[in-house]
Amino acid sequence: MVRDLVIESEALTKAYGPHVALDSLDIEIERGATGLLGPNGAGKSTFIKTILGLIQLTSGQGKVLDLDIRTQGDEIRKRIGYMPEYDALNPNMEAIHQVRYSGELLGMNPGIALQRAHQSLEYVGLGEQRYRKVDTFSTGMKQATKLACALIHDPDLIIADEPSNGLDANARNFMLNTLETTVNSGNRSVLMASHLMEDVERVCDNIVLLHKGKLAAQGRIEDLKAIDKEVEVHVWGAASKMEDVMKNRGMKVRREGRVMRVRHEGDNTYDEIIQCALSAGSQVRRMHDHEASLEDLFLVIMERLGQDVKSSDDLLRGI
Ligand SMILES: Nc1ncnc2c1ncn2[C@@H]1O[C@H](COP(=O)(O)OP(=O)(O)OP(=O)(O)O)[C@@H](O)[C@H]1O
Ligand SMILES: [Mg+2]
């Protein structure tokens, strides 16, 4: 089967002076929704700006929608919708004209740009507020306006850098729903940079995980979770002893009180757990395959990279 790639890079490297922000990245992003994850400073925004041709790469190559990122940046920016990380709006403009203007910058005729600006603002939930100046908007409304600017030319691919940044629960919900709908209706693709596992898990089927400028993992979330299959065991009595017995046998155990998560190594993992319980004098009350979250997966990958990260809160603080 020919893979339908919207973004690909080969040995993509970007250095800011002596600092290597992107280190020889081989990335393949298929059509659909992809989360770009990584701690602060991992290189998410740099990757986005590089593939959009907004900053020059140092070496390597890449394509977006089959266009060369080194030579066809203008064409790429016309074909995709970009929602930047920082506030990129003109505070003195009314939302409708801000969005119309972004269409004109893409080469749209002013009449069509205005008509599309009305539709885009309606779509992101700002139909009623479209004649208000941007500086009277809340953070959520500004983010929605940025999304409307990105959608004005109905692009096949939307690249959103931290789209739910700074939003309260309602606004965040609305933003994620809108992105989800944008992908699901009309075979569009989204690349969404985020710190928030939950957001990515909700909208995306695939992830690219960066860590200190290097590629730590990429692929379908479902496939990646298979590297971390665990059995959840609820025990009664002698839990610490049972944990020791399992560890002495070389089993991988994570314990939270009476609940233990044991790495699923093969068909006999369940039998081995029972044997350990018997020899420790513990009672197994319940045992089942544990449905890993994206956060669990992230913790396992970080552990394998030798990083001491306990939760995605650590991720927010940077490591
Ligand atoms: N213009 C620049 N000049 C020098 N160094 C830069 C520049 N922009 C980014 N960097 C450095 O490159 C690295 C990657 O930064 P980048 O902004 O891409 O990370 P990020 O993953 O988007 O982080 P965040 O989650 O904080 O948005 C960081 O170490 C950062 O300090
Ligand atoms: Mg960033």
Q: What is the pTM of this model?
A: 0.84
Q: What percent of the chain has pLDDT over 70?
A: 95
Per residue in 235-264, pLDDT (tens digit) is: 999 999 999 999 999 999 988 888 999 999
In a domain, 319, yes or no: no
Query: Measured between alpha carbons, how far is 241 from 126 in angstroms, rounded to an integer?
Result: 59
Let me know whether 142 and 217 are in one domain.
Answer: yes
| Residues recorded for the chain | 319
Let me know whether 280 and 253 are in one domain.
Answer: yes
What tokens does 186 get? Answer: 């009309």
Q: What's at 244, amino acid-wise?
A: D
Q: Which ligand is nearest to the CA of 54?
A: 1
- For residue 43, report the distance from its CA to the centre of ligand 2, in Å: 7
Pairing type for strands 80-83 and 33-37 reads: unpaired
Let me know whether 274 and 132 are in one domain.
Answer: no
The pLDDT of residue 307 is 67
Let me know whether 202 and 283 are in one domain.
Answer: no
Residues 28, 174, 77, 12, CA torsion sign: negative
Query: Structural domain of residue 238, as residue ranges?
Result: 230-290
Let me know whether 140 and 262 are in one domain.
Answer: no
pLDDT confidence band for 1 (50 / 70 / 90): low
In a domain, 248, yes or no: yes
What tokens does 228 get? Answer: 């971390």
Let me know whether 217 and 257 are in one domain.
Answer: no
Q: Is the CB of 130 under 6 A from ligand 1?
A: no
Let me know whether 130 and 172 are in one domain.
Answer: yes
The pLDDT of residue 186 is 75
Supply the mean pLDDT for the chain: 90
Pocket test for ligand 1, best of 16, 50, 85, 191 (most atoms within 8 A of CB): 16
> Last residue of some domain: 222, 252, 282?
222
Per residue in 144-200, pLDDT (tens digit) is: 999 999 999 999 999 999 999 888 888 899 999 999 999 988 789 999 999 888 899
218, 220, 224, 229: CA torsion to nearest 10: 170
Let me know whether 129 and 47 are in one domain.
Answer: yes
Pocket test for ligand 1, best of 14, 22, 25, 40 (most atoms within 8 A of CB): 40
The pLDDT of residue 308 is 61
Query: Measured between alpha carbons, how far is 316 from 319 in angstroms, rounded to an integer?
Result: 9
In a domain, 257, yes or no: yes
Q: Is the CB of 21 under 6 A from ligand 1?
A: yes
Let me know whether 132 and 238 are in one domain.
Answer: no
What tokens does 171 get? Answer: 């606004």
Query: Measured between alpha carbons, how far is 303 from 135 in angstroms, rounded to an integer?
Result: 44
- For residue 41, report the distance from its CA to the centre of ligand 1, in Å: 5
Say which residues have a Cβ less than 8 Å from residue 17's Cβ, sequence separation at least 6.
none
The pLDDT of residue 318 is 47
